[in-house]
Amino acid sequence: MAIIEQKGMYGEFPRCGKAHARTTHYCPGCGHGIINKLIAEACAEMGLQDSTIFVDPVGCGVFTYYYWDAAHVSAAHGRASAAATGVCRARPDAVTIAYQGDGDLGAIGFNNAFQAASRGEHFGCIFVNNSLYGMTGGQMAPTTLEGEKTTTTPFGRDPSLTGHPLHVCEVFNQLQAPTYIARVSVADTKRIYACKRAIRRVLEIQQKHQGYALLEILAPCPTNFRMDAMKAAKFCMEEMEREFPLGTFRDLENGVAGVAPTAHPESDVLAVKPVPQFPTCNDLFAVPDGIDAPSPENDPAVPERRFKFAGYGGQGILSLGICVAEAARLEKRHSLWFPSYGPEQRGGSANCSVVVSGTPIGSPAVDHPDVLVCMNQPSYERFAADVKPGGTIIVDESVPTDVPPPAGVTLRKVPAIRLAEEFGVPKAANTMMLAALRKYKVTGLDDASLETALVASFKKKPQLVEKNRELLRKAEAAFDA
Amino acid sequence: MAKPIIDEDCCKGCGRCVAACPKGCLTLTDHFNKAGLKPVAYKGEGCTGCATCFYNCPEPYALKVER
């Protein structure tokens, strides 16, 4: 006797919080339930449970992490494809599956999903289309049929007012990169078995790292259709399929061509692409790794000291913060550096936080710094009031300080920008500021380690090392004068 | 003898399996389970073990099939 039963799910769903620990949160007759079962079963039967990372959406499908016995990452509304991009790049060895609904993928997250598909990211996107927003109470979604009644289209969707239904598969099929695009349904037995095969195909493509796969699944939502389960399934087959015809739009690995894939014979779409090596954060921010940087050692006698460095992008504010954090690292302190900047590259305001401590650091965020370094007026106005009593503000002399600093805070004005210009290296204003930090002894760090960190920060531009050492000396001499 | 094994308290009584069974050997009952829903029941004969009911059922543990 063989038993056919559910595979790939937890035996009980205690985190779901239902009275009965073996039932899902889905309504009776929900398409999600059938799809969840098929995905879990395929995952288990293909032996992928330990290598699959699901990216859960916002919507009724969010609670899949209660059910599927595999790894999960939960994304913000519409962002499952963006999160899956990160997951599949960070773990190219894993099978990454984004599970999204039509409110999630079709509306707020459409561009995330579309661009991920266009880039041919190595994940599978399972897109559950029930033609409306289910979880929030049945509002119109981009996929709502013309004339379909929802809570926000009580007289039926009027295309002259709210547009026509969005055909996600057809739109994605215009793209060059996707490997697989198909639309299936779970409205009846025949369709469920076709859906099962398609889900296995998506997993197989991910298992073989053959690129992006989109599987749209038409699913009934009896609650929001205001129908019983059978009428909802019938609505899927008769009304939704008229608007959204089922079929495989492309399966490049199996020779089902999408839109003109042969028009670009030199394209590597058909080839299994090597996973690119992405730069690390240390690379991006030129964090020096060539210097001897010992692991931090706990020393409760060293108090936590919090720094904020702020100015315009391009003034070297972020590098200055790295210097201080690196100097602390050289002294076996715990240190964290945390940048924050707007969309601008140069000219916009940027700041970074640095925390140095003798004990492990809880949060990299610095709301109330001990030391604030300001290179422009907006930064001074924004952060000066937050400095702790007993703290220090070092500000460039060009910044108006009409608003006095808080009581008990020392204000030091230094001619960083002017000196850098006088020395003929206007970009080195941050080195001037480092000199000021050393001179006023506000970092709690040795002069030597600050200098070593400064030198190390120029590892990619060794010709600037001596110049900056010289500038450091000249600045200190100028401050003394 | 093949037969469906039903966990009444997991069944939400949607009726998808009743409509899907090619042999028509499932039926909705008239009593309530712990969740206050009317669960499905096997009529007692006719099951071929095809598992169509299992794949149509949206609940993971309401129904399994022995064959």
Residue A275 belongs to some domain of the structure: no
- Quote the tokens at residue A288: 């020096």
By the 8 A CB rule, do A170 and A164 touch? no
Please report, to the nearest 10 degrees, the dihedral formed by the alpha carbons of residues A375, A377, A381, A386 taken in order. 0
> Is pLDDT of A349 > 90?
no
- Determine, yes or no, domain membership for A306: yes
Task: For residues A340-353, give the mean pLDDT.
Answer: 72
Flag the least confident range among A15-29, A41-55, A228-242, A296-310.
A15-29
At residue A183, the pLDDT reads: 95
Residue A350 lies inside a defined structural domain of this protein: yes
pLDDT mean over A212-227? 95
Name which of A87-91, A314-318, A345-349 the model is least confident about.
A345-349
Q: Once rounded to an integer, what is the mean pLDDT over residues A126-138?
A: 92
ipTM of the complex: 0.97
| C-alpha to C-alpha distance for B46 and B23, rounded to whole angstroms | 6
User: How many residues in total does chain A contain?
Assistant: 481
Instruction: Please compute the mean of the pLDDT values over residues A337-344 and round it to a whole number.
Output: 75
Tallying the residues shown for chain B, one arrives at 67
Q: How many domains does chain A have?
A: 2
| Cβ-based neighbour number of residue A171 at 10 Å | 15
CATH number at residue A48: 3.40.50.970
Average pLDDT of B18-44? 93
Give the mean model confidence (pLDDT) for residues A253-264.
53
Same domain, A233 and A350: no
Q: Which residues in chain B have Cβ-Cβ distances shorter than 8 Å to A217? A: none
User: Is beta strand A132-133 parallel, antiparallel or unpaired with respect to A305-312?
Assistant: unpaired
Determine contact, residues A373/A328, Cβ cutoff 8 Å. no
Contact yes or no for A120/A110 (Cβ under 8 A):
no
Cβ neighbours around A303 below 10 Å, total: 11
CATH number at residue B13: 3.30.70.20
Search chain A and give the residue with CA nearest B66.
A3
Residues belonging to chain A with any Cβ–Cβ distance to chain B shorter than 8 Å:
1-6, 9, 19-20, 22-24, 26-34, 36-38, 40, 67, 188-189, 192-193, 196, 222, 228-230, 233
**Strand order through the sheet with A213-218:** A71-74, A52-56, A95-101, A124-129, A213-218, A180-185, A247-251
How many C-beta atoms surround the C-beta of residue A178 within 10 A? 28
Q: pLDDT category, A264, cuts 50, 70, 90?
A: very low
Q: At what angle do helices A447-457 and A465-480 cross, to 10 degrees?
A: 140
The model's confidence at residue A378, banded by pLDDT at 50, 70 and 90, is confident
What would the mean pLDDT of A333-343 be, rounded to a whole number? Answer: 83
A201 and A296 in a single domain? The answer is: no
A316 and A393 inside one domain? yes
- Rounded CA gap, A428 and A307, in Å? 20
Phi and psi at A97, nearest 5°, equal: -130, 120
Beta carbon pairs, A and B, within 8 Å: 97
Which chain B positions have a beta carbon within 8 Å of A31's beta carbon? 58
What pLDDT was estimated at residue A322?
Answer: 92
CA torsion sign for A34, A40, A45, A48 is positive
Range of the domain at A67: 14-263
Confidence of residue A269 (pLDDT cuts 50, 70, 90): very low
Q: What is the per-residue pLDDT across A431-480, written as a single tens digit (0 to 9) for each?
A: 999 999 999 999 999 999 999 999 888 877 888 888 889 998 999 888 87
Q: Of the candidates B5, B9, B16, which has its C-beta nearest A29's C-beta?
A: B16
